[in-house]
């Protein structure tokens, strides 16, 4: 899982920050080629905007990694990713990877399974 929060339009060094994050995501993807990617967070970019370097790069990354935008998901999957994003937003930086995985499994997976059953 990748949880990304990027600065909003008008922020100093926005493009540089985005490029650094993009490089990190691509290097992680190259290292973990056998894993599926789940990306969440707030990219602070309108993906439909024309002539926006950040939007263009985000859409390119999305195509390259075969990611789907959350607005294209059904309700059950959207709820799962929303819950996972909330977990990462609260404890992602301060907790160990094991703790994040345990909480994601105990709090987010049941939401996904419940949504898929109905």
Q: Using one digit for the tens of pLDDT, what is the confidence trace for 76-94?
A: 666 767 777 777 777 766 7
Q: Using one digit for the tens of pLDDT, what is the confidence trace for 36-52?
A: 777 777 788 888 888 88
Residue 116, pLDDT > 60, answer no
23 vs 59: CA distance, rounded Å: 15
- Mean per-residue pLDDT for 19-36? 83
pLDDT at 76: 63
Q: In whole angstroms, how far apart are CA 14 and each of 39, 44, 113, 115?
A: 19, 10, 38, 37
Q: pLDDT tier at 115 (50, 70, 90 boundaries)? A: low
Residue 107 tokens read as: 């709090």
CA 17 to the chain's CA centroid: 16
Listing DSSP states for 56-94 in one string gives HHHHHHHHHTT---GGGS-HHHHHHHHHHHHHHHHHTTT
Q: State the residue for tokens 């993906």.
A: 47
Residue boundaries of the structural domains of the chain: 1-67, 73-118
Query: Is the model more confident about 70 or about 51?
Result: 51
């Amino acid at each position: 899982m990748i949880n990304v929060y990027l600065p909003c339009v008008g922020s100093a060094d926005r493009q540089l920050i985005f490029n650094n994050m993009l490089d990190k995501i691509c290097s992680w993807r190259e290292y973990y080629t056998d894993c599926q990617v789940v990306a969440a967070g707030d990219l602070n970019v309108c993906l439909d905007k024309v002539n926006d370097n950040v939007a263009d790069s985000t859409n390119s990354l999305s195509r390259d990694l075969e990611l789907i935008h959350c607005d294209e998901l059904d309700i059950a999957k959207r709820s799962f990713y929303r819950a996972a994003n909330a977990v990462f937003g609260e404890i992602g930086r301060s907790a160990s990877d094991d703790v994040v995985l345990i909480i994601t499994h105990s709090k987010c997976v049941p939401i996904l399974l419940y949504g898929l059953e109905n």
